[in-house]
Structure 1
């Protein structure tokens, strides 16, 4: 890879990973309002955590099956809360 390509990749990575975080507040306010903002944050970070868990388990086990089973086991108790 060319040295200039590394800088282009770094800028793209920063923009694509930072944009959703910076836009979470205005989008959440638009969808749920100020009184439910903390609940919207909780759900957003919950699903971000599921994505990280699925990717991590897939890299360890080499299969998506166990990853989605473990994510489902985490979601079931939240249905009854």
Structure 2
């Protein structure tokens, strides 16, 4: 794999990780390696797509966990105050 491809992957990964300093660094490196504007845009698009997919799955898991706790009579997170919070 050549340097340009590695930097384009790093651009996408930076977007996925929400890492602005990483994106700035790898964007500059991708340009130095000869990446076109269209190639960088595509790497950003792929990074956003991965981030969106991961966020969607995370949201499903959070709803599943929180929904189970809210429908339960007791919450195994600690004090009664915590349980009341989840049932409110």
Q: Which has the higher helix share?
A: 1
Same fold (TM over 0.5): no
Q: Which has the higher contact order (CA 8 A, sep 6+)?
A: 2
Q: TM-score, normalised by structure 2?
A: 0.38
Larger Rg: 2
